[in-house]
Every structure is written in C-alpha cells, then in structure tokens.
Structure 1
Amino acid sequence: MGSDTTADDVLAGQDLTGHHALVTGGTSGIGQEIARALAAVGADVLITGRDRNRGEAVAARSTGKGRVGFAALDLADPASIAAFPADRPFTILVLNAGVLTTGLTRTALGFETHFGVNHLGHFALTRRLPLAEARVVVLSSRAHRRADVDLADPNWRTRPFDRWRAYGQSKTANALFAAELDRRTPHTATAVLPGMVLTKIVRDFSDEQLRAEGWLDERGRPRVSAGWKTVRQAAASAVWAAVTPGLGGRIVEDCAPTAPWPTAHDLPAGHHLAYASDPARAEALWELSERLLADSHAPHIGNTV
C-alpha cells in the first residue's frame, strides 16, 4: 500500500457488517468517500453535514451492503452538538469535517473558526457520544507543519491573524487530540494525514485565489501534478486506520505510521512534526479545551468519554 492506494483497495475482503460508523462532513469530498467505502463492505454509516437536503440526497444514493443515514450537525454551534442524537454506540468514528476560511471569523461562542470547528467542535462531539470502545480516526493534514497550537492564544485575540497558520494550528490540534483521546480512554484513536486533494473545503476561495495558491491552472481547472491525490486515494489512510489494529496514538499517512521530524523545513513524506505528537502538549490542549468550553457557557453537551 502507498500513496496510490484507494479506500476500496484497503477494504478489499473486509466485512464490517454489525459495525456502526459516524463520519462527520460525510456529504462531500473525502468524508463522502470514506462513508461510501465503509458502507460498501457492510457498515451502517451515519453521515453529518450542515445542508440537510444535500445530506439526505447523498444518503439516499447509497448502494452499499450497509445502510447510510444522515443527521444534521453544525460543529460551530454548541446547540447543534447538544441536540445531536446520541442513542447508539458507534464502533467507528471518523472526525473528518473541517473548514478553511479566507479571513478571520469566529463562531457564535467567539472561538476562531478553524480552531472552534475543526478541533473544539469535534472535541465536544466526541465527549458527548456513546462509543463502544471505538476506533476513532481524526483527520489532520500535512498543513500541521504550518503551526503548532498556541496554548496562550489559540483564538487569535492578540496576535496578527494568518489563515494558513490558523488552519495549520487546527490540524495540529486534531493530531494532539487523537493522541490524548487514545491515552485517556479505552478507544483506539489515530490521526491521519490524507494527502493533497482539492475538495469543497476551498468553497470560500475565489478562482483567482485558487490560482494564486497554485491549485487551479490558467483555465480554472484543478492542476494535475505530482503529490496530489484523487478523493478515493485521499480516503484510503482513514479507512486503513479504522480497520487496522495497533495504531493507537499514531499519526498515519499513505496507509503507514509516520515518524516524528524536528523541523518544518523539508518535512519528508512518512513523517510528522514532532510537536504534533508531543504527549505534554496533547495533555495541555485537552485541559485547555475543557476550560474553553466550560468558560463559554455552551449548552450542556454531556461527557460519555
């Protein structure tokens, strides 16, 4: 297995009948492909998204052995998290939903949007859900190399805002959350670096901005270049982490565990920056996340983790 492996390649010969999976952000992109692949081999899958019409349409088109359902969820809204159905024990939890904004925005509780949605929303949701000693897969990104978590100012109150550092910080937080969830609970939690793929996460970017980033060519078409993946390839590591034993607390890429690397300069494939798996920082982020949610006076979300 490697960078060209697809989700279907990983699950060939698997039978996930009897498993109940939750995939956040499962109505498009990598999340939709993860859900499709899991259902194809028998898992019952619940996908989430903010757009009910789209979500129900995606679920209705499923043709796998397992059933696919939809539940509305807005990870920026604590009331939506608190109202999310928690009446079934999931055995597979894929925390895939994410946002990439073009400027500084905040959630209703005042959290910087990348940190508030990509990390705190998933942190709150996971602690609410009943999990049957689940495999938890948290989608991080190679963008974690852009920033460690600023534990003193995670919500960009005092420092100049940079969207790429903000997104990178949230992806580092995803990896640290997986490590600490694995340490604190009976669940097996793994962080995943899915690879470079153009999905609807860039919906807020204009074509001009996408061309400036090198993601579109001069005709407005996605660039095809070395290192980029299809959605089916980008979903492979997540489903591999969901069905492969012995990955608790690890960060994986291209269906293999990665090793720590000391600096962001020339981060090689198969490696992650060391701060993304630092146990002390993982514990500190968990405790900070608990304080931020408590201090925000968010609606009660429970704690089953």
Structure 2
Amino acid sequence: MTGRVTSRFGAQSTALEVIEGIDLAGRATIVTGGASGVGVETARALAHAGASVLLAVRDLQAGTRIAAVINVEVGADRVSVDFLELGSLASVRAFAERWGERPLSLLINNAGVMACPQGTTEDGFETQFAVNHLGHFLLTTLLVPALEKGVPSRVIAVSSSAHALSDVDFDDPDFRKRPYDAFQAYGQSKTANALFALEFDRRHRDRGIHAFSLMPGVIQTNLGRHVPDADWSAIEHLTKTVEQGASTSVWAATAPELEGKGGLYLENCAEAEVFVRGMPRGTGVMPYARDPDAARRLWALSEEKVGLAVG
C-alpha cells in the first residue's frame, strides 16, 4: 500500500512502550469496558502518560478495583469509574448526559461481546450488533460536543480481524429472517465498527476530531469465553498478551504519525493493508470494511435504530 502509515512499533510492542514519551496531562479520556482485559491495559497506559481516565463499565465493583490499582501505580487519582451498559440505549443516554459537554480528547470504544448465544437487548436488537456497534454509535454521537471542546480529539473503535467473517447485512442485521450464527454476528458487528470509524471521521475531521478502527490482536481474555478451544488453537499464531493487545489502541489514540489523519483501519501499530488472496489469515482489512458508500448506509441505518438524527 503506497503511503501506508507505519511506526517503529509492531506486534510484540506493549502499550507502555508505545506511550513512552507521550504527555497527556490535562487530556480527558473515556475507555469503555475498562474493567477487564485490553481495556485495563489501555487505561493503565493512558494514566501513566498523565491523562485523566474514566472507566465506563457494567461492573462498578471491578472497575473501582482496577481504578484503585492504577491510581496507586501512577501515584495520583487519575482514574475514575462510571456505569455504562452498552446494550441499553437508555443507559448510554444517561451516561452521556452525566458527562455533559466537559472537554473530551480521547474516546476508546473498547467494550464488546464475542460469539455469544443468540439474544436481543432490551431495545430489541441482536446482542452483538447492539453492544459492539449501536451502543458505541450512540455514545460517540452524543459526545461530539465534548469531543469538539477537547480537540484535537480522537475516537478509537476496537474492531477485529473477525470482520472478515461477515459484511453488514443491511436487510437483516438482527438475524430475524436468517439463521443465527454467533461468529457471523460477531464479524458483522466488527465490520460495523470499521465502517463507523470511516464515516465518523468523514463527518467530523474538519472540526479536528478523527476516528480510527483497529485489530488489537488475538488475546485470550474473558471476551472469548464463548469460543471453543478448537477455534482458539486455529488462531494461536496470532495470540498476544493483554499488554501487547492494548498497544494498537494506545498507538491509535496518541501516535504523532496519525496527526491530521483518520478513518484508517490499524493493526500491529500500523495502517493495515487491504486484504488480498495470499495474505496470512487474520491480517489486513477487507475491502468491504473500507467502502465509503457502505459506511454512509450503515450510518443511516444506525440513526434509524437508535432514534437519533445527527445529520
């Protein structure tokens, strides 16, 4: 890929290595799903760089425990906790209202569910599409006034190489007509994450707000509790530690190489190549996840589903 953005970091780099030398003092950050896995290491690295970090979590007890540990590590009260249930549009709206228009520089949309049994949220949407995409879509759009006050600001959508399992089915995203497949549903939601970042960046880059999506790597955390052992063994060559898994999120949020850029899909602390036959499994970004027409179509569908007109 000509002109592809790269860095001196790679697949084995850790979040703390990536953040070294970066000063985030006075910068406010929200990390969804910050009470476990990659979210913890993302929050830890940002706090070490001086950012104030709010963990937006379902489990307040776990979030409070993690915040206390990180605050002791950094020697300051930089990490706090608030409740957020991404599967509930009412909860998302309440969270955004509590934040208000306080300046926000970094929004890390990290939380998610993976390959879970078929289910629907209280709003009637398929669980993975709702939690991984729609909840974050609504959260981010509601926080645009705060992001405008925190410019230059960035929104990070944690996607996955699993986006290669499915494009977005615009006719039946909630599996009401087609048979449910847990991995197809997960893949669809991860494609949605990439398309959301593409369209969000198009809409807001002129205001100094940029968005990126990324593949963190394969990390065996609680996220993958529904994944059979046989499926893990098939992708074990991609496995990272949680410290390594958080590195691309932190790089996306802070890298000078990305200043003024946006809408990119990242992996291993670099811009991913568009997937072509012959590339290793689990690498690259599928062309349909870079389709601007699909991104605009998804935006319109998402607005309709969450009942939000944002232009």
Common topology (TM > 0.5): yes
Aligned match of 1:58:
66
Amino acid in structure 2 at the alignment position of 1:259: E
Alpha-carbon distance in structure 1 between the residues aligned to 2:235 and 2:161: 19
Q: Aligned match of 1:193 in 215, 219, 226? A: 215
Amino acid in structure 2 at the alignment position of 1:277: R
Aligned match of 1:105:
119
In structure 1, list runs of 5 or more residues that go unmatched.
216-222, 295-300
On the 8 A contact 2:275/2:287 being kept in 1, the answer is yes
On the 8 A contact 2:275/2:283 being kept in 1, the answer is no
- Count of residue pairs the alignment pairs up: 286
Give the 3-state SS of the residue equivalent to 2:156 in structure 1.
strand
TM superposition shift of 1:261: 2.1
Report the TM-score, using the length of structure 1 for normalisation: 0.88
Map 1:219-230 to 2 at 5 A.
Answer: 225-230=236-241
TM superposition shift of 1:40: 0.6
On the 8 A contact 2:55/2:63 being kept in 1, the answer is yes
Give the 3-state SS of the residue equivalent to 1:48 in structure 2.
strand
Alpha-carbon distance in structure 2 between the residues aligned to 1:269 and 1:77: 31
Give the 3-state SS of the residue equivalent to 1:137 in structure 2.
strand
Cα RMSD (Å):
2.0
Alpha-carbon distance in structure 2 between the residues aligned to 1:266 and 1:48: 36
In structure 2, list runs of 5 or more residues that go unmatched.
1-8
Give the 3-state SS of the residue equivalent to 2:299 in structure 1.
helix
Normalized per residue, the structure richer in helix is 2
Q: Aligned match of 2:166 in 144, 147, 171? A: 147
On the 8 A contact 2:115/2:185 being kept in 1, the answer is no
Matched, 1:162 2:181: yes
Aligned match of 2:105:
91
Alpha-carbon distance in structure 1 between the residues aligned to 2:210 and 2:302: 20
On the 8 A contact 1:128/1:302 being kept in 2, the answer is no
Map 1:5-154 to 2 at 5 A.
Answer: 5-62=13-70, 63-64=73-74, 67-84=78-95, 85-87=98-100, 88-129=102-143, 130-131=146-147, 132-133=150-151, 134-154=153-173
Distance of aligned partners of 1:157 and 1:269 in 2 relative to their CA distance in 1, 3 Å threshold: closer
Q: Aligned match of 1:183 in 202, 207, 211? A: 202
Aligned match of 1:236:
247
On the 8 A contact 2:29/2:53 being kept in 1, the answer is yes
TM superposition shift of 1:227: 2.0
Q: Aligned match of 1:211 in 217, 229, 234? A: 229
Distance of aligned partners of 1:46 and 1:224 in 2 relative to their CA distance in 1, 3 Å threshold: same
Distance of aligned partners of 1:194 and 1:247 in 2 relative to their CA distance in 1, 3 Å threshold: farther
TM superposition shift of 1:56: 1.1
Matched, 1:254 2:268: yes
TM superposition shift of 1:15: 1.2
Deviations 1:31-70, CA, capped at 9 Å, x for gaps: 1110000001100000111111111111111222560000
Report the TM-score, using the length of structure 2 for normalisation: 0.87
Between the aligned residues of both structures, percent identity stands at 44
Give the 3-state SS of the residue equivalent to 2:90 in structure 1.
helix
TM superposition shift of 1:258: 1.1
Matched, 1:202 2:227: no
